[in-house]
Amino acid sequence: MGTMGLALPWKARIASVPRQRETRVEPSEHYAGGPKPTIVDAITEDAALAAGCRAGNLQTYERLYSIHGARMRNLARNLLGNLGDAEDAVQETFLKVQRSIASFRGQSSFVTWTYRILINTCYDARRSRLRKKEVANDDSGETPRLEPRAPGAHPSLRMALERALATLTKHQRDVFLLYEVEGFRHAEIAGMLEITETASKNTLFQAKKNLRLILEPPRSSAAEAR
Amino acid sequence: MMMNATCKDRERIFEDGTPGEWAALEAHSANCPVCAEELKAWKSLSVAAQEMRDYTDSPSFWPRIERALAEEAVRKTQRAERRSWLSFLPSVPLSWQTAVAGAFVLVLTISAGWIYVHWPNRPEQHDKSLLKSAALENVEHAEAVYVQAIDRLAEETRPQLENPATPLLANYHEKLVVLDSAIADLRAQAGLNPSNAQLRHQLLAVYQEKQQTLEEVLEARKQ
């Protein structure tokens, strides 16, 4: 088994993990010959969700939840660091969608708009938490404090990555989470974070470079390992 | 035709490579251990990121959101109903809206004034030293008549008082000079504060004293 070049306890096992997103992780956004049928379906679904939510149909909200709820909750959890705050943020997002659906003009997709609301809600929650910490004279900073989760396949890998992510800038962390964890395309991330696609790609590149620097073992120990 | 990639292209492809360029880098890595290592480490981050996915369902979460949405929908309906009461307003011209608002303020002011004046349990004006305008008019009228009467009396006694024949009349004369002086002072004060009943009482007392003195002067002349 070849070394991964990263000081991670999972490097001996990582090769056995299937690359489920191989086709997307490395750029697969350049479609040739027009949109794929799945994209057409997604557009139709998106329009249906927007129309249902605009009509105040609770079943449509339930559908939105069934499609995106778990991903929204996971994203909020990774942004905020604990499940309680994450669930509050997701609930608040649904309420904000309900309140402001009339103002949705379809300039981006409905789902992108919803995620933008979620991310802004998480930012607000993070700021509010920071203010409370300042009041309590706790200067532990803006970085989310991560609470333990249910053990995954590689708990030590996840913890190492979470710690490394905490050292990134907010934008780098957000883009990494949206692209690598949640599987959004750069075009979608651009819409959510209100940046350009190029900026999203560049931010991801910088984030991964920084993560490598943090997770890479010192050269001497790496050499010893070999 | 297959693209070619070199070690120099690696970073650029990592940042924004096309699928063709990625394929070329993969091909290049087969013969370049450095690029192979870099490519593997780069991809390993994507694999590691999967560990941060936790899409386990929480059965109680959707009911909680649903309840919040339903409550919000009820509130929204109530707000809409409240707004519908005023929905005619936008169709009314601004000048009319202003006029209606002005009239409303006017009615409100008049009503408040009326209530203030006619309030049944409003406490009485305890400071009786301040006369109301109607009472003041009566007092001033009566005073004017009274002063005229006293002046006529003074006119009758003037010959004796200007040339007093006895010490008693001389005393009366001095007393009347003092009383006239007091009357002049009190009238000046009453002119500044006509509603002050206290001043009016004092003035009346001095006039009565003058009247009595003049009567005594008349009595002394008869004797």
Mean pLDDT of chain A: 78
A104 pLDDT higher than 50: yes
The DSSP annotation for chain B comes to ------GGGHHHHHHH--HHHHHHHHHHHTT-HHHHHHHHHHHHHHHHHGGG------TTHHHHHHHHHHHHHHHHHHHHHHHHHTTTGGGS-HHHHHHHHHHHHHHHHHHHHHHHHH-TTPPP---TTBPPHHHHHHHHHHHHHHHHHHHHHHHHHHHHHHS-SSHHHHHHHHHHHHHHHHHHHHHHHHHH-TTBHHHHHHHHHHHHHHHHHHHHHHHHHH-
Question: Taking CB atoms and an 8 Å cut-off, how many pairs form between chains A and B?
Answer: 139
Beta bridge partners of B171: none
| Tokens 């191989």 sit on residue | A22
Which of A3, A4, A60 to mutate to probe the B interface, most B CBs <10 Å? A4
**A-chain residues near B35 (CB < 8 A):** none
**A-chain residues near B56 (CB < 8 A):** 70, 150
**B-chain residues near A77 (CB < 8 A):** 54
Given the cut 0.95, state whether the ipTM is greater than it: no
Digit-coded pLDDT (tens) for B97-109: 888 888 999 999 9
Distance separating the N- and C-terminal Cα atoms of chain A = 11
Mean pLDDT of chain B: 83
Which of B10, B15, B40, B53 to mutate to probe the A interface, most A CBs <10 Å? B53
Q: Are A53 and A60 in contact (CB under 8 A)?
A: yes
SS3 B134: helix
B82 pLDDT higher than 90: no
A27 pLDDT higher than 50: no
Position A12 scores a pLDDT of 33
The mean pLDDT of B172-185, rounded to a whole number, is 87
Q: Which long-range contacts (CB under 8 A, 24 or more apart) does B17-23 make?
A: B17/A26, B17/A27, B18/A27, B18/A30, B19/A26, B19/A27, B19/A28, B19/A30, B22/A26, B22/A27
Position B67 scores a pLDDT of 94
Rounded CA separation A35/A183 (Å): 18
Q: Please, which residues have CB within 8 angstroms of residue B187's CB and are 6 or more apart in sequence? A: B203
Position A30 scores a pLDDT of 39
What distance in Å separates residue B11's CA from the closest CA in chain A? Answer: 9
What distance in Å separates residue A134's CA from the closest CA in chain B? Answer: 29
**A-chain residues near B43 (CB < 8 A):** 19, 25-26
Are residues A95 and B57, on separate chains, in Cβ contact within 8 Å?
A: no
Q: Where are the beta strands (DSSP E) in chain B?
A: none
Q: Which domains does chain A have, with CATH numbers?
A: 35-147 (1.10.1740.10), 149-226 (1.10.10.10)
Listed by start position, the domains of chain B span 7-51, 133-222
CB atoms within 10 A of CB A105: 7
Mean pLDDT lowest for which of A48-62, A79-93, B208-222?
B208-222
Position A31 scores a pLDDT of 38
Beta bridge partners of B130: B196
Mean pLDDT lowest for which of A53-57, A105-109, A142-146, B48-52?
A142-146
* pTM for the model: 0.59
Mean pLDDT lowest for which of A15-24, A192-201, B200-209?
A15-24
What distance in Å separates residue A53's CA from the closest CA in chain B? Answer: 11
What distance in Å separates residue B17's CA from the closest CA in chain A? Answer: 7
Position A184 scores a pLDDT of 93
SS3 B130: strand
Rounded CA separation B156/A154 (Å): 130
- Nearest CB to A149 within list B17, B54, B57: B54
